[in-house]
């Protein structure tokens, strides 16, 4: 089954404790992206990657890092999480360079206390 998976689905952590949210897709997509969703603000893009070793900032990249060492994986790293990064996070993937649909993961609900 074609899908985007994220782990963990739920995470409660404390300020400053480094964490990684994994994202994996099995559709051989070049393009992958991370969004965060907050009440009243909709989905906002954090980082995206057009292919392996190619990443770029989205609208709200501060406080986040990403890497794309393999085509299927695109982890989101919070080196020193803060309470304002409490949010619902979505990973997405698609083929690139065209009007292709994006497939979204199920989401990761992160709470930073």
Partner 1 sequence: DAKTTQPPSMDCAEGRAANLPCNHSTISGNEYVYWYRQIHSQGPQYIIHGLKNNETNEMASLIITEDRKSSTLILPHATLRDTAVYYCIVSPNFGNEKLTFGTGTRLTIIP
- What are the residues binding partner 1 (CB under 8 A)? 4, 31, 33, 35, 37, 40, 42-43, 45, 48, 50, 56, 58-59, 88, 90, 92, 94-107, 109
If the CB atoms of residues 50 and 77 are measured against partner 1, the closer one turns out to be 50
Other CB atoms within 10 Å distance of the CB of residue 37: 14
If the CB atoms of residues 38 and 79 are measured against partner 1, the closer one turns out to be 38
Q: Work out how close the CB of 86 gets to partner 1 at its nearest, in angstroms, rounded to a whole number.
A: 14
Q: Work out how close the CB of 66 gets to partner 1 at its nearest, in angstroms, rounded to a whole number.
A: 14
CA distance 112 to 2: 31
Q: List C-alpha distances in Å: 82 to 11, 13, 30, 88.
A: 13, 9, 31, 14
Residue 19 tokens read as 């964490």
Q: Work out how close the CB of 8 gets to partner 1 at its nearest, in angstroms, rounded to a whole number.
A: 15
Other CB atoms within 10 Å distance of the CB of residue 82: 11
If the CB atoms of residues 12 and 14 are measured against partner 1, the closer one turns out to be 12
């Amino acid at each position: 089954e074609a899908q985007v998976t994220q782990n963990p689905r739920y995470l409660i952590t404390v300020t400053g404790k480094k964490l990684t949210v994994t994202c994996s897709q099995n559709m051989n997509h070049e393009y992958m992206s991370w969004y965060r969703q907050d009440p009243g603000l909709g989905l906002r893009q954090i980082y995206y990657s057009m292919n392996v070793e190619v990443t770029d900032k989205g609208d709200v990249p501060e406080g986040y890092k990403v890497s794309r060492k393999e085509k299927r994986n695109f982890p989101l790293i919070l080196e020193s999480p803060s309470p304002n990064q409490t949010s619902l996070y979505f990973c997405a993937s698609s083929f690139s360079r065209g009007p292709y649909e994006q497939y979204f993961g199920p989401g990761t609900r992160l709470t930073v206390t």
